[in-house]
Structure 1
Amino acid sequence: MKRKKYTVDFKKTIVDLYNNGTSINELKNEYGLSNAIIYNWAKLYTKDDATGQTQADVLALQKRLAQLESENDILKKALTIFAKK
């Protein structure tokens, strides 16, 4: 059985409906989603009051930071190799 792929916009729309008072059962029946999916999306796309960031934003920033640190390490190693020559 294939997994369904949902767009970020669709996920955010479901979260907005949930945050505006639409019940889980209504969303589940109307869109054919499970409770767990709706709760996970709500956790991922609801903004934190303290930071104003969603968990998805934080995860994307952490991924980008790891990528940049890796690129930085590669450049440092290349610099040491070329400095020896």
Structure 2
Amino acid sequence: MKRRTFSREFKIEAVRLVTDRGVAVAQACRDLELSESVLRRWMREFEGAPSGAFPGHGRLGQEQAEIAALRKEVARLKAERDILKKATVFFARDAT
């Protein structure tokens, strides 16, 4: 069985169905064939940051993009450090 995916627009409309139109969560879930936990999670995400909610398709939020960039930089710096350690050992061996 393949996992269902939903577009950002679908999620926003599902949340607005409950918040703006006043449809009960249970009724909206039956109509949209969703579980209540999924719709309630979408509501929490949308309430927290409406413009950044549901980035989807590999697009990272601002914080996640910054974290990914920092992790990449840390990996690069560790590689440079390891190269310098090896060079120090190499040249120390030649000096004696």
TM-score band w.r.t. shorter chain = 0.5 to 0.7
Q: Which moved more, 1:28-37 or 1:68-77?
A: 68-77
The residue correspondences of 1:1-85 to structure 2 (distance < 5 A) are 1-20=1-20, 21-47=22-48, 60-77=61-78, 81=83
Bigger radius of gyration among the two: 2
Higher RCO structure (Cα 8 Å, ≥6 apart): 2
Give how far 1:66 is off: 1.4
Matches of 1:79 and 1:4, distance apart in 2: 43
Give how far 1:64 is off: 0.7
Matches of 2:34 and 2:3, distance apart in 1: 12
Structure 1 gap segments, 5+ residues each? none
Give how far 1:46 is off: 1.7
Matches of 1:79 and 1:10, distance apart in 2: 46
TM-score normalised according to structure 1 size: 0.67
- Residue 46 of structure 1 aligns to a residue whose secondary structure is helix
TM-score normalised according to structure 2 size: 0.61
Structure 2 gap segments, 5+ residues each? 88-96
Taking every aligned residue pair, what percent have the same amino acid on both sides? 19
